[in-house]
Structure 1
Amino acid sequence: MANAFELGAAILGGLGALVGIRAGTEQPRYTVVERLGDLEVRHYGPRLAAEATVSGSATAARSAGFEAVAGYIFGANTAKSSIAMTAPVAQSAAGGSQTIAMTAPVTQTADGAGSWKVQFIMPARYTRATLPVPTSDKVSIVELPAQDYAVLRFSGSRSGPAVARRTGQLASALAGQGWKATGPPTAWFYDPPWTPSFLRRNEVAAPVALTISAGSTTPR
């Protein structure tokens, strides 16, 4: 039987979609600050996210977290009227509840031993005041501040070991580049499981701050 992550992605993407969530779906806006070989340093503005904290392996936690937060965007919230969709891939709940458009990527961050945060970034049109409140105590709305991220993009497997390996590559590639990681790494997933491995867009990212240029002793 498909797990919750697969079922949620199927609902969102449609059975005929090849690249799934990513096709026509709103993504957080960013600007590229610098390119460092295979890395991009991107600046993201403030964002809102629906977040669930779950325990288990990276893959199991992703499924459980997806299920919890998908419930929120499928209508487990306090709104009483429908809103316009910001992406064509979405589902409206019956009974007048508001359904929030899906955005990409789904994010996953380690939060202590065996614990993970799984987030959906909310569409940019919302503010804290206009975003519906979750009705489940498993989901919370968090404000993400403007931040620079060092990002490494990859395709293929997004298993726990694969993500860990790519995170190590990110750290190695960032060393000596004048940017310092300021927080834990995050994995970003843009596509559902049925997407062919070579077409998947996966990323690992770490929040960073500018220190000095490589080979320089003064701040940039």
Structure 2
Amino acid sequence: MYPLFFLPFFIVLSSCSVVGVRTTQELDYQVIKVYGEYELRKYNDYKVVQTTAGGSYEQASSKNFRKLFKYITGNNQSEADISMTAPVKLQSVTIDMTAPVQIQSVEDRGGEGRYSMQFVLPSEYQGENAKKAPLALDPSVTLSVVPASRVAVKRFSGILSEKAVASQENLLRDWIRQEGLTPLGRVSSAGFDPPWTIPFFRRNEVMFRVEIDSREGEKQGEE
């Protein structure tokens, strides 16, 4: 289930309904291949704000989220309030937060580890405007550009939890293997909906960056 620390995030996402209808701006990508709940996507580079914390999945997520939430509510050099819903007009700067919130394990230590969390910045801070994103006042919160990549994704519904992510990761690894792809790095998980959305209608994803065989890449480039 979703911890209470996500409550402010879900309040500002209140435009989402109990059946998963979303109005939040989402990161653009190109779908290369679809097979049921699985997709191979192409992402261009994009700007994120991120931080890292230690502990269990839930503990680290709580620490990370609080820091990032402070950033989007004014703890940045421009003192800009950054909304997660689109559009919201504010006194200083109007910024639309982009879904989803992404979580990734960066180190394992026997049941505990370190996890990074990213908020994807909206379109007005992408591309040529990436340098306009306000810097964080907290030195542990940083801005970075995620390089362009090919990503294998499995979409699933239900409650997003550490156990669910582990189960879906195994299924995604199997599909990646069947497709002749090579997973890179660690799995990332993403949630798109507030907790009052009926679990069956929730959109969750697990994803791996993948390396594509050069011949396969040439073939896909011709499509």
Task: Confirm or deny a common fold (TM above 0.5).
Answer: yes
TM-score under structure 2 length normalisation:
0.83
What's the offset of the Cα at 1:73? Answer: 1.2
- Report 1:136-175 matches (<5 A): 136-175=138-177
Matched residue, 2:178:
176
Q: Is the alpha carbon distance of 1:84 and 1:72 closer, same or farther for their aligned partners in structure 2, counting shifts above 3 Å?
A: closer
- Count, aligned residues: 210
Q: Percent identity?
A: 31
* Aligned counterpart, 1:38: 37
Aligned AA for 2:72? I
Matches of residues 183-202 of structure 1 in structure 2 within 5 Å?
A: 183-202=185-204
Aligned twin of 1:13? 13
Aligned match of 2:99: 104
Offset, 1:98: 4.0
Counterpart AA for 2:48: A
Distance 1:100 1:135, change over 3 A: farther
TM-score computed with the length of structure 1 as normaliser: 0.84
SS of residue in 1 equivalent to 2:178 = coil
User: After TM superposition, what 4+ stretches of structure 1 lie above 6 angstroms from structure 2?
Assistant: 81-86
1:48, distance to aligned residue in structure 2 (A): 0.5
Please state whether the residue corresponding to 2:86 is helix, strand or coil: coil
**Residue 4 of structure 2 is aligned to residue 3 of structure 1:** yes
Q: Tell me the amino acid that sits aligned with residue 5 of structure 1.
A: F
- What CA RMSD, in Å, does the superposition of the two structures yield over aligned residues? 2.8
**8 Å contact kept, 1:87–1:101:** yes
Q: CA deviation at 1:17?
A: 3.9
Q: Tell me, in whole angstroms, the C-alpha distance in 1 between the residues paired with 2:187 and 2:20.
A: 22
**Structure 1, gaps ≥5 residues long:** none
Q: Distance in 1 between matches of 2:100 and 2:84?
A: 17
Q: Deviations over 1:1-28 (max 9, x none)?
A: x722123321x113x6425997211111
Aligned 8 A contact 1:149 1:205 in 2: yes
Contact 1:78–1:133 (CA under 8 A) maintained in structure 2:
yes
- Contact kept in structure 2, 1:52 and 1:65, CA below 8 Å: yes
